[in-house]
Amino acid sequence: MYVSKDVVRSIETKYNIPKLLFLEQPISEEEMKMLRQSQKYGRAHDITFFIADNQSRIAVIRKHFHPTGVFRAPSGGLEPGEDFETGVLREAYEETGLSIRLEKYLLRINVNFKNQKLIVPWTTHVFSAKVDKGTIAPIDTKEIADAKWITVPELQGDVRSLLLATGKGFFQYRVKLTDTALALLGS
């Protein structure tokens, strides 16, 4: 397990005890295959960060396999043995080119991704963050096709509609995550 109970207690002490959310999310066979590939070394988590700039915009990313116009909050996983905060800062930089400062542990989602054959438990740790420095542009261009700033109305309008229109379970999950995180941020 990459993120132990001791690590969770430590980040709760430093960044807040988050709201807990329990979900079941149906996903396709293709999505299940992608999820299983991400579980190398027993990984069963991601850390999602809502990075705000001084103009109240949110950083979003688009992966190469995302349809045109489909963006979401950046996220990533820790490497085995990697310190939690070090891993979050690394992932934020790789996906957005930004150096960030974590602000608050907003939300922990325990989700069961399921299809007709499998159920895979997963945990998403959701944080708010601020930019310390940098220009938004992905560093890891093998994984990330684009990164940009958008407003909350854009994220909750056209981007949300495009995510849902894909019919993909992972994007439906990201909409639920985003809706809850933005509500907790008061956006």
For the residues of 8-22, what is the DSSP string, one character each?
HHHHHHHH-PPEEEE
Q: Which residue has the higher pLDDT, 95 or 40?
A: 95
Contact 119, 148 (CB under 8 A): no
Predicted local confidence at residue 41, as pLDDT: 84
How many domains does the chain fold into? 1
Predicted local confidence at residue 170, as pLDDT: 98
pLDDT digits (tens, 9 = 90+) for 112-162: 999 998 999 999 999 999 999 999 999 999 999 999 999 999 999 999 999
Q: Which residues of 33-68 are buried (b: 16+ CB within 10 A; e: fewer)?
A: eebeeeeeeebebbbbbbbbeeeebbbbbbeeebee
The CATH code of the domain that includes 181 is 3.90.79.10
Contact 72, 163 (CB under 8 A): yes
Q: Assess whether pLDDT exceeds 90 at residue 22.
A: yes
Predicted local confidence at residue 125, as pLDDT: 98
The answer to which of 35-44, 56-65, 87-96 has the lowest mean pLDDT is 35-44
Predicted local confidence at residue 1, as pLDDT: 57
Domain that holds residue 117: 5-185
Question: Who's near 138: CB < 8 A, 6+ residues apart?
Answer: 61, 94, 95, 96, 97, 144, 145, 146, 147
Q: Which two tokens stand for residue 24?
A: 């079941």
